[in-house]
Amino acid sequence: MTDTRGPKPPYDMYDDGPLPAERPSAAQQAAQPYHPPQAYAAGGTQGGGSAGGTLGGAQGAAGVRRPRTGAKTTPRTRKARLRVAKADPWSVMKVSFLLSIALGICTVVAAAVLWMVMDAMGVFSTVGATISDATGSTDSNGFDLQAFLSLPRVLVFTSVIAVIDVVLATALATLGAFIYNLAAGFVGGVELTLAEDE
């Protein structure tokens, strides 16, 4: 019998790709960057025709988000509602002591400046002369206002008042902290609303 199918090739033919010996190894394939398949060309063409290019360009333009113009943005205000539940008497005493000392120093300086201004304007001499004429007699010259309201005496008197003010203010502030703690235990304390603008 004669085989009519013709001669068989000695090996398989690879028409669509290289031979197994010519293919790159796995290490070479891993070193190369991976490029995912693309459904459309980069230029926006589809199928190579003008209609496909128009369709791809329209899809690309539709996929881009454009910012809205004329949108008004109002700043949001964050609010926090807090409650002062307790005031530390020790901290209140320290703060009130320092503030009262500063107030006492300002009082002494203000009294000295006021006395200098009134003395430069001649207030003490004018008023003193009037009082001396009103209280004077043939035996005495009357009350000497300028000697009584001298600068050292005024400063000493103002310093004494400032020291008393420091003691009273510190004591009253500390007592007020104790009273506030007692009241806060019954009514819950003072509520504050804090707001922050962004």
DSSP string, 9-43: PSS---SSS--GGGSPPHHHHHHSPP----SS-TT
> Does pLDDT of 170 surpass 80?
yes
Coil, strand or helix at 189: coil
Condensed to tens digits (0 to 9), the pLDDT of residues 104-153 reads 999 999 999 999 998 888 887 888 778 777 776 666 666 777 777 888 89
pLDDT score, position 2: 56
Mean pLDDT calculated for residue range 184-196:
86
Burial 10-20 (b: 16+ CB within 10 A, else e): eeeeeeeeeee
Q: How confident is the model at residue 179 (pLDDT cuts 50, 70, 90)?
A: very high
Mean pLDDT calculated for residue range 178-198:
86
CA angle 127, 130, 135 (to 5 degrees): 120
Residue 102 CA to residue 17 CA, distance in Å, equals: 95
pLDDT score, position 45: 47
Condensed to tens digits (0 to 9), the pLDDT of residues 16-57 reads 555 555 666 665 665 566 666 665 555 444 444 444 455 455
Mean pLDDT calculated for residue range 146-164:
89
Output the CA torsion sign for 107, 112, 117, 118: positive
pLDDT score, position 189: 84
Strand partners, 59: none
35 neighbors 44 (Cβ within 8 angstroms): no
Share of the chain above pLDDT 90, in %: 29
Please state the φ and ψ torsions of residue 9, each to the nearest 5 degrees: -70, 150
Mean pLDDT calculated for residue range 155-160:
94
Under 8 Å CB-to-CB from 53, ≥6 apart: which residues? 43, 44, 45, 46
pLDDT score, position 139: 64
Under 8 Å CB-to-CB from 10, ≥6 apart: which residues? none
For the entire predicted model, the pTM comes to 0.53
Strand locations in 56-133, DSSP E? 77-84
Condensed to tens digits (0 to 9), the pLDDT of residues 71-117 reads 566 667 788 888 888 899 999 999 999 999 999 999 999 999 999 99
49 neighbors 161 (Cβ within 8 angstroms): no
100, 88, 110: which is closest to 184 by C-alpha? 88
